[in-house]
């Protein structure tokens, strides 16, 4: 039986109730096998079933494919002709073994660009899980390492020999070992089929090829297998998941039943209308039509911003709007890749809006971003010793002590020491010459950063040889952010502001969620904003090259949209900044959006004057402040609902004087700038235009 559980339709509940139903109807718990992708998921399902039964579930075998494989291999030691029992290496052991083999073969000596042990292990593992040649994996996913193809293949072969010689298994070997055991060792196969008469598999869309074959071997021709999953949520091909496993389930098991769970308990019907339309255009799918009893008049909004640079402010405005209706932790901004939230992070940090980020790392924590900014920091402050240390970090022979001496010589004008250092190490001279050249350039952030990125590119490729193409995207985003500033001090000040940590007495209710879509799978929020819905970003540039990858991107967008319970907003920048020629170029909207019927969403656009206006239903403005004055309404981000600002009556200061603001603190009222708005000088923050509702007069 295959249960296609649409998003929000109660997949976990289905497995829990079937577990309880089987035991309640006389099936012995020890005859049930539950295979999952995390130990936590298996335990949660068993605990919930035990609550239904008030106990009586002891004996069910539940856990991950890998854990089950290990238990079977232990039960039948020597069945695969290994010399006695095999030992299991964890990830660290396997990587260290690969490191030692690399050293023994003399590979990568003196080559700082040679892939690290973790990268090598990842490539070898991906090759096995996808059952593809290493050359194909490199071609499709790591083209920048193709020059090492021969060495990596040699390492993979030597690693396989090493494991066999020492009786060792890594995690991937467990799956292939279990397959061989069930296929070639009749006693093991007979034991498994007689013991586990009821096999249940969770998240079947995430299985790889060998896992699907294991399930078939366990079930046999007449076995009882129930798989639960959703083909439309198969988004882990990069880990080896193969969507064709779930699509071909009925061919895999003769006479299999297909059951669709189409009632959704999470989202409103307008959101489901859009997601149904999104799936309708999929090339390969199991047809379903999600519906719900949660009727609502709010359609998803498709917001076209003027540019990717203005998108961040428009998103903040939308977040503040949603924050008036829902607690802030019930609002999430989702994106395809971690670097895409950088502009938004800067905008949130400027306003003091707390956020948590899942997937990728925060902007200012990325090593390559910090490297690039260190050059600019020295233009602003030549005595910034941490910046000196970062600009010399790539120079061989210059550690913290030597760097401190160079810094002291620069500060003291010690030409003798500097001349000697440059003669001893030409790279020192190269860095100092470059910094001198920067000082004579246009000191606006964008041109300065452009020069820095040219100089830094070969350093990036050498220092981060394993993943520099991914990091390159982050630097491009940094360049886009810099283009919005005329002043270096302002740029560095904004970019360096840290996201404030929540105080001990504050809960998560005032913390916005930022997340990649992959990290968001399985979660839900009252309101969801999805950004950068243009070609090359969502879908990614890589996905546009192959039809199957493009289809997975469609499923990824489906997963993103179905995280929303009540409100959904899709942001589409009209132009994208091109760092190479310093201009903004028209962007093509995501092909998945152009397929959607106009009836499934409200069309909005960002005006040149700031703010958003309806396109398909008149020109009524949104009630929130326009993007140009988003800074004036920041206090609302921490409120739990409408009307809970510092002064709920809406009465503002009637005379010039002093006031307090929840984020900016104490300030002086300078002038009235319109109905209900005031210009205020906040020490440390400067002049701000603030709505009267968010001010408390002294």
CA distances for 241 relative to 120, 127, 210, 338, angstroms: 20, 12, 10, 22
Residues 176, 91: Cα–Cα separation, whole Å: 17
CB 76 within 8 A of CB 181: yes
Which is nearest to 571 in space by CA: 272, 305, 275, 271? 305
Strand partners, 682: 686
Rounded Cα distance between 632 and 621, Å, is 17
Angstrom distance (rounded) from CA 141 to CA 548: 14
Binding residues for ATP: 5-12
**Phi first, then psi: what are they for 604, rounded to 5°?**
-130, 155
User: What is the Cα–Cα distance from 165 to 179, expressed in whole angstroms?
Assistant: 21
Q: Which residues are annotated as a binding site?
A: 5-12
CA separation for the pair 482, 498 (Å, rounded): 17
Coil, strand or helix at 77? coil
**Whether the bond into 539 is cis, omega within 30 of 0:** yes
For residue 360 the two structure tokens come to 């990728």
| SS3 of 41-59 | HHHHHHHHHHHHHCCCCCC
Comparing CA positions, the residue from 194, 191, 218 lying closest to residue 34 is: 218
Phi first, then psi: what are they for 383, rounded to 5°?
A: -95, 15
Tokens 């910034």 belong to residue: 384
86: tokens are 């095999």
What tokens does 518 get?
A: 């992959």
Specify whether the CB–CB gap between 659 and 698 falls below 8 A: yes
Helix axes 39-53, 11-24, angle to 10 degrees: 50
Q: What is the DSSP letter of 620?
A: P
3-state secondary structure of 666: strand
| b/e per residue 160-176 (b: at least 16 CB within 10 A) | eeebeeeebbbbbbbbb
Q: Could you give the strand order of the β-sheet that contains 696-697, starting from the edge strand earlier in sequence?
A: 686-691, 677-682, 665-674, 658-661, 696-697
Residue 662 CB neighbours (<10 A)? 17
Can you tell me whether residue 83 is helix, strand or coil? coil
Q: Which of 565, 567, 583 is nearest to 575 (CA)?
A: 583
Report the C-alpha gap between 153 and 261 in whole angstroms: 45
Residue 621 β-bridge partners: 613
Radius of gyration of the chain (CA): 29
CA neighbours closer than 13 Å in the CB half-sphere of residue 653:
26
Q: Which residue, chain included where needed, has tokens 């059951």?
A: 259
Our CA angle for 487, 346, 659, nearest 5°, is 85
Listing DSSP states for 235-304 in one string gives --GGGT--THHHHTHHHHSTT--EEEE-B-SSS-HHHHHHHHHHHHT-SS------B-S---S---EEEE
Spatial CB neighbours of 569, under 8 Å, sequence gap ≥ 6: 300, 301, 302, 303, 318, 527, 528, 529, 530
């Amino acid at each position: 039986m295959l249960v296609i559980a649409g998003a929000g339709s109660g997949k976990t509940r289905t497995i829990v109730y079937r577990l309880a139903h089987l035991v309640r109807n006389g099936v012995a718990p020890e005859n049930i096998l539950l295979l999952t992708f995390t130990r936590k998921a298996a335990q949660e399902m068993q605990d919930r079933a035990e609550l239904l039964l008030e106990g009586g579930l002891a004996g069910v075998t539940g856990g991950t494919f890998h854990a089950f494989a290990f238990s079977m291999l232990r039960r039948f030691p020597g069945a695969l002709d290994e010399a006695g029992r095999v030992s299991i290496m964890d990830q660290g052991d396997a990587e260290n073994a690969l490191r030692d083999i690399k050293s023994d073969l003399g590979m990568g000596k003196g080559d700082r660009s040679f892939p690290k042990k973790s990268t090598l292990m990842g490539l070898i593992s991906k090759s096995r899980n996808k059952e593809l040649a290493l050359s194909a994996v490199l071609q499709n996913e790591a083209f920048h390492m193709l020059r090492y193809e021969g060495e990596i293949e040699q390492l993979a072969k030597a690693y396989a020999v090493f494991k066999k010689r020492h009786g060792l298994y890594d995690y991937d070997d467990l799956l292939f070992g279990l397959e061989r055991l069930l296929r070639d060792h009749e006693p093991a196969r007979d034991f498994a089929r007689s013991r586990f008469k009821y096999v249940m598999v969770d998240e079947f869309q995430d299985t790889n090829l060998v896992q699907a074959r294991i399930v078939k071997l366990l079930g046999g021709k007449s076995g009882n297998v129930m798989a639960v999953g959703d083909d439309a949520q198969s988004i882990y091909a990069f880990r080896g998941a193969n969507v064709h496993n779930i699509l071909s389930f009925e061919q895999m098991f003769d006479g299999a039943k297909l059951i669709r769970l189409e009632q959704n308990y999470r989202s409103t019907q307008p959101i489901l209308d859009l997601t149904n339309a999104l799936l309708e255009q999929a090339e390969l799918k199991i047809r379903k039509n999600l519906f719900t009893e949660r009727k609502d008049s709010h359609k998803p909004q498709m917001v076209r911003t003027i540019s990717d640079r203005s998108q961040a402010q428009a998103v903040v405005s939308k977040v503040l709007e949603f924050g008036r209706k829902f607690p802030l932790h019930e609002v999430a901004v989702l994106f395809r890749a971690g670097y895409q939230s950088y502009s938004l992070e800067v905008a949130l940090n400027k306003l003091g809006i707390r956020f948590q980020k899942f997937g990728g790392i925060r902007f200012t924590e990325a090593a390559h971003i910090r490297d690039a900014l260190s050059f600019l920091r020295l233009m602003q402050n030549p005595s910034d010793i941490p910046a000196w240390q970062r600009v010399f970090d790539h120079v061989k022979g210059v550690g913290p002590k030597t760097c401190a001496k160079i810094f002291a010589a620069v500060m003291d004008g010690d030409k003798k020491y500097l001349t000697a250092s440059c003669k001893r190490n030409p790279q020192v001279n190269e860095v100092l010459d470059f910094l001198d050249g920067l000082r004579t350039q246009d000191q606006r952030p964008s041109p300065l950063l452009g020069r820095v990125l040219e100089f830094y590119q070969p350093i990036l490729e050498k220092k981060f040889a394993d993943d520099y193409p991914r990091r390159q995207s982050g630097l491009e985003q940094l360049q886009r952010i810099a283009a919005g500033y005329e002043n270096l001090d302002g740029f560095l000040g904004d970019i360096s502001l840290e996201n404030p940590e929540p105080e001990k007495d504050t809960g998560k209710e005032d913390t916005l969620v930022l997340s990649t879509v992959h990290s968001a799978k399985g979660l839900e929020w009252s309101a969801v904003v999805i950004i950068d819905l243009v070609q090359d970003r969502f879908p990614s540039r890589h996905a546009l090259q192959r039809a199957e990858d493009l289809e997975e991107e469609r499923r990824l967008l489906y997963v993103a949209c179905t995280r929303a319970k009540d409100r959904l907003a899709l942001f589409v920048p009209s132009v994208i900044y091109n760092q190479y020629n310093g201009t903004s170029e028209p962007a093509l909207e995501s092909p998945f959006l152009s397929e959607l019927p106009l009836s499934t969403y409200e069309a909005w656009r960002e005006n040149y004057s700031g703010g958003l206006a309806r396109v398909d239903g008149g020109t009524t403005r949104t009630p929130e402040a326009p993007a140009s004055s988003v800074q004036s309404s920041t206090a609302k981000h921490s409120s739990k609902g409408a009307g809970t600002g510092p002064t709920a009556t809406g009465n503002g200061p009637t005379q010039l004087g002093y006031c307090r603001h929840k984020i900016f603190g104490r300030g002086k009222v300078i002038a009235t700038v319109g109905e209900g708005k005031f210009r205020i000088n906040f020490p440390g923050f400067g002049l701000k235009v603030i709505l009267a509702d968010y001010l408390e007069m002294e």
